[in-house]
Amino acid sequence: MSVTSNVPTVSSESQGLITHVRRRLAQRWDIDLDCIVTTIDKATGENNTKKAMAWKVGLEGGTIPNEFVLPVFGQSNAADTTTLNVITTGATSIDLNNVTDVQEGDYFTFAGHTKVYMVMAISVNTVTFFPNLVSDVALGEAVTFNPEFTVICANAASFRSASARQPQSFTFNFVEAL
């Protein structure tokens, strides 16, 4: 699995089915996920490949919620916290209430925001993050580590199998929705 930054991305805004001409440079996270699926679950006898295919089709068809949480090895040990100051759009650092277990590379989001940010540096209670803040953050606003990425399936997942009896693998490409 890999998570990479896609900069610059141009995004446009729409309201009431009208797309505004105003465009702004933005940043998105690209998530590439390789899954190896064993053919039969030995505990239940169920065909996991069929389940994975149904999940893939549901993602592409929009019938499954488009939230994605990084696997355990990519998650932070940091506890959720709150902000200690007000910051405005474009800022790249903020003071947090508790940064005990926060590490560089941890992902987080602010309450009411869908944009996911990455911790770039920590100094006492100040966290520097990437990308620039896309909207204002209030005093005491909740900060959630290990957030759900709101994503769209960037392409049809590829499916590989050596034979019907061999493990199969899927490759998924997701792009963070802005």
Phi, psi of 53, deg, nearest 5: -65, -40
Share the mean pLDDT of the chain. Answer: 76
Give 87's contacts (C-beta < 8 A, 6+ positions apart). Answer: 93, 94, 133, 136, 137
Domains and CATH numbers, the chain: 2-69+150-176 (no CATH), 73-147 (2.40.30.290)
Q: What single-letter amino acid sits at 24?
A: R
Residues in the chain predicted with pLDDT less than 50, given as ranges, are 21-22
Cβ atoms 99, 78 nearer than 8 A? yes
Q: What single-letter amino acid sits at 141?
A: E
Whole-number Å distance between alpha carbons of 48 and 52 = 6
Token reading at 9: 């991305």
**What's the pTM?**
0.68
Q: What is the pLDDT of residue 149?
A: 76
Whole-number Å distance between alpha carbons of 82 and 138 = 10
Token reading at 85: 């100051």
Whole-number Å distance between alpha carbons of 108 and 119 = 8
Cβ atoms 49, 41 nearer than 8 A? no
Whole-number Å distance between alpha carbons of 60 and 67 = 13
Whole-number Å distance between alpha carbons of 124 and 127 = 8
Token reading at 18: 């009208």
